[in-house]
Chain A
Amino acid sequence: MAKFVTIGERIHCISPAIRAAFDNKQPEAILKRAKEQLDAGATYLDVNIGPAENNGPELMKWAVELIQGNFDNVPLALDTANKAAIEAGISVYNRSKGKPIVNSADAGDRMSNIDLAAANDAIVIALCSNGPIAADNDERMMHCQNMLEHGMELGMEATDLWFDPLFVVVKGMQDKQMEVLEAIKMFSDMGLNSTGGLSNNSNGMPKNIRPIMDSAMVAMAMMQGLTSAIVNPCDQRLMETIKSCDVLKGNTLYADSYLDL
């Protein structure tokens, strides 16, 4: 089985430093965060440039070339609502370390991002929703099936659609947590890949608690068959948990120094 894929989430326009870097094409803040995340063990880096309605294509090209050029063609997830920007990013993307990820499609308005991924031989994150959070797993799996069929019709490998069950916040939706975990098991039973913004579960919790809650969630989710997550790789407890789970699942071979690798 393949190693768990971590997608570093810290190059995000919601951060003022990153937003300023994108606005002014200043590499420093972006490179700093890229390096931090890679040093901490991220596999992929997510690049969220925001809506970028005016200069999306140009900005995404700049960001892809900047990050890949400085970090040995690290694989990237291209994260924006601007489809043209994603296509532009892929046009300059180097695949030697992994296919680009389109972040993201859903079973509603954003279904066409699956077409975009299929046309560009990319991976696509497929949110099991058509807008609102699915009411139950029957609905989640209905969305999953629709997106899967759509992708396969377009000639995609089923494993290039990474299904996101949408993690939900414990403070408010505690009773839905097991349902999300069960959905992951269903993806896994189907032989499908999965991912998601894992830390949604701990939103609103005290800062010192979030790594604990996220680590517990990732361990349970990996047990259920989660193959990837969008995470903050600088969260050491979380990354150590992921590495330990990879050992327990046989995804990596144990050595006493496994946490250093």
Chain B
Amino acid sequence: MPFNRKAHKFSASIGTVEIGTGDKAIKLGGENVMPFYTFDGSMGDGPKVGVEITDLGLDAEPQGVKDYYAGCTSFADIAKKAEAMPGGDFVVLRLAGGDPNGANKSTEELVAIAKEVSDAISCPLVVEGSKNVEKDAELLPKVAQALEGKNVLLMSAKEENYKAIGAAAALAYNQKVGAESAVDINLAKQLNVVMTQLGVSAQSIVMNTGSAAAGYGFDYTISTFDRVRAAALGQDDKMLQMPIITPVASETWSVKESTAEESDAPEFWGPVEERGIAMEVETAVACLVSASDAVILKHPKSVATISEFIKSLM
């Protein structure tokens, strides 16, 4: 008697959000199964991989990232090289320098960089803000305006600033908007509700439900993913059916496993770069097999591996 395969089908599915324009536009979401359960149904176009660059240049990047971008002298150069990274589907510009507690770059300067990057590439672009809610409320609408017509995804609208960012990004300039809630599933849903009430269509919203490096409170990340998908697919909860994008690189490259030089690290830890890549890859995989429709990475080896990984499971 052969194995009796019981397909676990859902009558609901994850919505589709398109970013970018032309041939290289991509669709996030669209699956009606748990991640990679292709034996139950459809995975849509499959998860996508973003390549992260920042307005801070390359000085603080790990060696392998510096090597990859060697010779680049402008943000346009870096952007082109990021677009060409094997395995990447889109470019992510993180405007980390906007943080008033950090480099505190002006909105004008950052918008100019965003414009330079956007003009240099033809693949879809995601622009991440500074993580400071006041600054982002000012910065991201200006970015949305400057990149009108490019169908970019702006991250992130949070509880404190969704009105400014949601209204500008999605309503005024017809861009896509990321709704960010830090491992709080009720807030994840609420943000989608209030953004929808604002007039932003569900097809314009992507969620970032929280992120962490493996080992660093990642238990909350996993359970949030699991519960969001259980509600979206199992209970047909329309307000949680948005695709999920997860910034991985910005979390994993700051923990000590990825930063401690071999000379400072405990015995046998080995080269720092290998540890950084492993942290990025293993965290990304854990996100992808839980829920993420897109992950944001930065090391060329990680991008190539995760892209290959996705293909091998599709």
User: Interface of A with B (CB < 8 Å)?
Assistant: 2-3, 251-257, 260-261
| Interface bits B187-209 vs A (CB < 8 Å: 1, else 0) | 10110011001000000000000
The listed residue with most B CB atoms (<10 A of its CB), out of A2, A3, A252, is A252
Residues of B within 8 A of A261 (CB): 193, 239
How far, in angstroms, from A255 to B159 measured CA to CA in the complex?
Answer: 13
- Complex alpha-carbon distance, A261 and B202, angstroms: 14
The SS class assigned to the A binding surface is loop
A261 to B185, CA, bound (A): 16
C-alpha gap A161/B185 in the complex (Å): 34
Q: What are 25 A-to-B residue pairs whose CB atoms are below 8 Å?
A: A2-B235, A3-B235, A251-B235, A252-B231, A252-B235, A252-B237, A253-B227, A253-B237, A253-B240, A254-B186, A255-B186, A255-B187, A255-B189, A255-B190, A255-B193, A255-B239, A256-B186, A256-B190, A256-B193, A257-B190, A257-B193, A257-B194, A257-B197, A260-B193, A260-B197
Beyond A252-B235, A253-B240, A256-B190, 4 additional pairs, beta carbon < 8 A: A253-B189, A253-B227, A254-B189, A260-B193
| Chain A residue with Cβ nearest B192 | A255
Majority SS at the chain B contact face: helix
* B interface residues with partner A (beta carbon < 8 Å): 185-187, 189-190, 193-194, 197, 227, 231, 235, 237, 239-240
Q: Give the distance in Å from the alpha carbon of A255 to the alpha carbon of B227 in the complex.
A: 14
- A96 CB, min distance to chain B CBs, angstroms: 10
Taking the nearest CB of chain A, how far is it from the CB of B273, in angstroms? 41
Which residues of the partner chain A approach B237 to less than 8 Å between Cβ atoms?
252-253
CB-CB under 8 A from B193, the residues of chain A are: 255-257, 260-261
B197 cross-chain contacts in A, Cβ below 8 A: 257, 260
A253:B194 contact, CB within 8 angstroms: no
Q: Which residues of B contact A255 (CB under 8 A)?
A: 186-187, 189-190, 193, 239
The residue on B at minimum CB distance from A96 is B11
**Nearest A residue to B236 by beta-carbon distance?**
A3
User: For residue B189, which residues in chain A have a CB less than 8 angstroms away from its CB?
Assistant: 253-255
Interfacial chain B residues near A252, Cβ < 8 Å:
231, 235, 237
Q: List the B side residues contacting A257 at CB < 8 Å.
A: 190, 193-194, 197
- In the bound complex, residues from chain B placing their C-beta under 8 Å from that of A251 are 235
Report the 5 A-B pairs with minimum CB-CB distance, sorted nearest first: A255-B189, A255-B190, A257-B193, A253-B231, A256-B190
